[in-house]
Structure 1
Amino acid sequence: MEDFNLTSSVPPMFILNGIPGLEAAHIWISIPFSMFYIISLLGNFMVLFVVTKEEILHKPMYLLLCMLALTDLGTSTCIMPKALCIFWFGFKGITVNGCLTQIFFLYVFAVTHSAILVTMAFDRYIAICDPLRYATILTNARIAKLGLVGLIRAVLLVLPLTLLLRRLPFCTNRTIPHTYCEHMAVVKLLCGDTTVNRTYGLVISLVINGLDLTLISLSYGMIIRSVLRISCMKAYQKALNTCTAHICVILISYTPSLFSTLTHRFGQGIAAHVHILLANLYFLLPPMFNPIIYAVKTKELRDKVGKYTCRM
């Protein structure tokens, strides 16, 4: 019964248990996790460095790629340092304020990441369907403004998510079976009616995964319609190649996100350690693969990255 007593005040610390059921394998799990994180840091910093240094890359497409790299660095850095402290040293404690701060920044980066993918889909739509007006419609200044709008939207959506966690007292059970402060895991520590918290969390998921994916689908629907009208095979292939990298990034980003959201709410039959491993990979794999995909599929960027790596 002690676990269900209310705390007289907000508890000073939460305990992050890591991956329940796999505590003995934490050291082994940390090896691929740390490798993914290091590759993510190197890849995204390389993209930022090369685009900043090369004036020829100061274009809307590469500005969007830099924004994507920044959000990828943000999401992975929000969770990995603490997760590695749990795996390596057993430092499982995190303050309530630290936990809420982690939730805020993690989801702000994730929501901004989704907004950037929508903007990238719009960029590809203009490049293929209205190429003659591309330079006038999508200037660097306009792309920067769209990125700022995406960030403001993220803050406005995520801020109530964290504030609502202060609405109810926490129970004396302060153990979170996770490597980071996942929103729904923290909601389960609240004592009282958490309907508002759960509903708002679901609304954000629907807005991001539903609205943003709908906008991306509409963009690609119009792109496909325009591409099918192209009679020249060479132009047809070039148009498709410009979208390949973005489509790969969309699949890598949204597939684990949708799976994680649905399993956390409706997948009671899925083992906890499976869900938590997938939730971690959702914030690790896209930041690692995104710069690799764009470096491989974008010749201009690939050539510039090759120039700098050959000097090392």
Structure 2
Amino acid sequence: MPDFHSLSLPINGALFTVGALLVWFAGTKLSKYVDLFADRTGIGQAFAGALLLGGATSLPELATTLTASYSDAVEMAGTNLLGGVVMQVAVLAVIDAFIVRGQPLTLFSPKSSLLMVGIMLILLVALATAAISSGEVFSIAGIGAWPVGLFAAYVLSLWVIYRYEGNPRWEPRGEIAQPPETARDLKDAHQAAYREVSTRKLVCYFAIASMLVLIGGFIVAKTASVIADQSGIGQGFIGATLVALATSLPEVSTTYSAVRFGAYSMAVANILGTNGLEIALFLPAEIAYRDGPIFDAMQPSAAFLGSMGIIVTSLYLWGILERRDKQVFGMGIDSLAVLLVYAGGMAIYWTL
């Protein structure tokens, strides 16, 4: 493994850019493959986005979390996970502002299953915030009860989402807005381009793209961590901002790609599902960190990031439920609220 600390800041910056481009390229492919797989198998876009796409795009977070925890940079590992939850919801707001045209993003996502995904995410983040506030209850062989409980809650949430999407108990009323014509045309062209590709080949393509995301995400995360050390900025704030942004690049690229070809529900489910997996990654972080329970080593200020994650997720659930068609500065009111909360919250977190 190369020693990035021995390299200069400009070289690490160049490597960061190369890794980011690799993550972006492979990430845009992932959303297309998952969308095709969901259509062919009938498993549902919300579930596919939450499990398959969310899992693949979380590979950089897994690599970063394991590396940071094993290197005793446990504060960076924890704030990267919680900061990533807030960062990735803000990604939806940015995409709503610059990519979606004509109507807010949440107007194009009239699926009750997305509300279930969001509710499960709020539950997981609330549990993680409680773990930070209370500290570890007990541990066996260095593995605490909280990380195991969080992972179990994540697995349970997947089962709940899958069962609900297969038999939703209610459907939205009123106008069901359709994606812009260009997005439908793009998706139809994409379906036609892969019509002759078998499902087995799609799975292979998905695995290759996932590996490229992992490699690129590892480079991005490692160089971002070194850049943080070389700049002298605190581990916690860098973990919640720069490293969280670096490891969120797959979500940015896949969500951008999904929105471009009209898979709006998958785009939202990708972000919300990935955020749920972020919380589950506290278990591998606990296993990699051998100096005691991870929640005992984290600063209480990390709970503030968890609270921000609950707030921004709640704002998007409000948008999905209400489905307003009004825009402010080219985005939905919910997206504007998310960006304001993110900017204000990170300013407060800087002072903690």
Tell which has more relative contact order, 1 or 2 (C-alpha 8 A, sep 6+): 2
Q: Which has the larger radius of gyration?
A: 1
TM-score over 0.5 (shorter chain): no
TM-score (norm 1): 0.31
